[in-house]
Amino acid sequence: MNEMSRRPVLPPPMPADPPPRARAMRAGPFGVLDIGTNKVVCLIGRTEGDGSLRVLGMGWQRGRGVRGGGITDLEEAERAIRGAVAQAEDMSDHRLRSVTVNLTCGQPESRLFNVQWPVGGRAVTEADIRRVVQEGRARAITEGRETIHALPLTFSVDETPGVADPRGHHCETLTARLHVIDALSMALRNLGATAARAELDIAELVSAPMAAGMSTLVEDERELGATVIDMGAGTTGMAVFSEGQLLHTAQLPVGGQHVTNDIARLLSTTVTAAERIKTLNGSAQGSPDDEREMLTVPMVGEDDHAHARYPRSMVVSIIKPRLEETFELVRDRLEGAGLGNAAGTRVVLTGGASQLVGAREMAARILGRQVRLGRPDIRILRGLPDSATGPGFAVSAGLLLWASGEGRSLSDLDLGAEERPAGLVRRIVSFLRDRV
C-alpha cells in the first residue's frame, strides 16, 4: 500500500455560512423631538464609523401647549419646539429639516394580527414581506384612526413557525404575526400642524414607551421578558418586550402632573410651588420623621408673605394614593392584555415621575415583580450630556436610536417603502406647508 492510500478520506468542506445582512444604519446627522407635557427635548446625532451613535447637540425647553400627550395650544407648543430645536442646532452646527417624534397623543392602542399571504411554492421575496405588512395595515384600519407601526414579530413558512427572516424560503403560504399600533387621526393632524408651524417635517412617529425600552433595556431583558413603564408628566406608557420583540403597548391618562395638581389643590398652593415640593420633599413612602419635619408652603392668591406650614407626612399622604392608583391601573392593563409569562418578571421604570422616592418599592409590591430604574445607556450613546442621562430622558435617547436604524425588524428592508408617500404625516405636511 502506497503512502497516498494511507491518507484518511476527509469529508467535503461545509459551505460557509452566509454573511449576516447588514443593519441599515443611517449616517446622519438626524434629529429627534420628544414632545411632553413638562418638557420638549431635541437631540441631534450621527452614526460613527465604528457603528456607535454620537450625540452632536441637545436642546431643552419647558413644555407648553401640551396636556395628556396631546397638543392643546398650537402656538405655545410651536414656541417650545422652536426653542429646543434652535438650541440643538446651535450646539451641533446643523440645521434640521425633519425629525423623528414620540407618539403619546391620540390614545395609542396596540393590537396583534395574523396575516397569511400566498406564495405558491416559490422563494419568498422582499415584495412578499412588504405585501404581508401592507395587508396587516389594511386589516387594522379603523375609522378615525391611523396606523403608526406595523411591526413583524415572527413569520411562519407553511407549517414551520419561528422564522425570523423568511426571504429565500420556499413555501406555499407565508404567515406573519404583526403588532400594529394606531392612534386618533385628528390628534395626529394637530401634531403635524404644530411641526409644520415650526418648519419641520415629521419623518416618523415612534411609540414613546417603545423608545424608552430601546434606550434602557439590556439584551437579556428584551429576550427573557420585561415591561417598561414610562411615567411621564401627562401620561404613563407601558411596553412589553419578549424574545427581542415589542409585544404590547398601552397608555394611561395619568402621570406626574396629576401628582403635582393633587398637592397644589390639597395644600392650596401654586402649581409651581407644588412641583418644587414634589421634587424636593415628595415621597411615596413614609418615615418616622415625617410628622416632625415641617414644610413652608406659599398660599395661592395671597401676597408673597402669606405662607402655611404642613408636616411632610401630609405630602406623603397625597402622593401615595395617586401612585398606588397608577400602578394598580398598570397591573390591570397588563393582566387584561393576556400576555402571561411573556411579560417576564422584570419591570423597568422610566420617565421623570419614576424618580419619586419610594416609587420603585411601591411598583414592586403592587406588580409583584422585580423593579429597577432605567436610564439611557451611555455606552451606546456617546456624547449624551450628563443632564440627559436620567430616567426622564429615556424616550429622547430611544428616539435617537430608532432614527439611527436600531430596533427595527428586518432592518435592511424598508417595510414602508411602497405606502409611505401616502402616509398621514406626509399628507399633513404637504397640505400645511403652503397654508400655515
Compute the distance between CA of residue 182 and CA of residue 137 in angstroms, rounded to an integer: 10
Please list the ranges in the chain whose pLDDT falls under 70.
1-24, 409-436
Compute the distance between CA of residue 232 and CA of residue 36 in angstroms, rounded to an integer: 8
Burial 31-51 (b: 16+ CB within 10 A, else e): bbbbbbbbbbbbbbbbbeeee
What's the pLDDT at 142? Answer: 87
What's the pLDDT at 76? Answer: 96
What's the pLDDT at 235? Answer: 95
Instruction: Give per-residue pLDDT as tens, 124-164.
Output: 999 999 999 898 888 888 889 999 998 888 899 999 998 98
Across the chain, mean pLDDT equals 87
Sign of the alpha-carbon dihedral angle for 370, 182, 55, 351? negative
Compute the distance between CA of residue 287 and CA of residue 284 in angstroms, rounded to an integer: 10
Instruction: Using CB atoms within 10 Å of the CB of residue 381, give its burial: 0 to 12 exposed, 13 to 18 middle, 19+ buried.
Output: buried
Q: Among 401, 393, 421, which Cα is nearest to 206's?
A: 401
Instruction: Give per-residue pLDDT as tens, 179-211.
Output: 999 999 999 999 999 999 999 999 999 999 999
Burial 343-364 (b: 16+ CB within 10 A, else e): bbebbbbbbbbbbbebbbebbb
Instruction: Give per-residue pLDDT as tens, 281-322.
Output: 999 998 888 899 999 999 987 777 788 999 999 999 999 999
Note the residue count of the chain. 436
Domains and CATH numbers, the chain: 109-182 (3.30.1490.110), 219-375 (3.30.420.40)
Strand partners for 307: 298
Amino acid at 411: S
C-alpha cell at 331: 397591573
What's the pLDDT at 17? Answer: 40
What's the pLDDT at 11? Answer: 47
For cell 407626612, the residue is 313
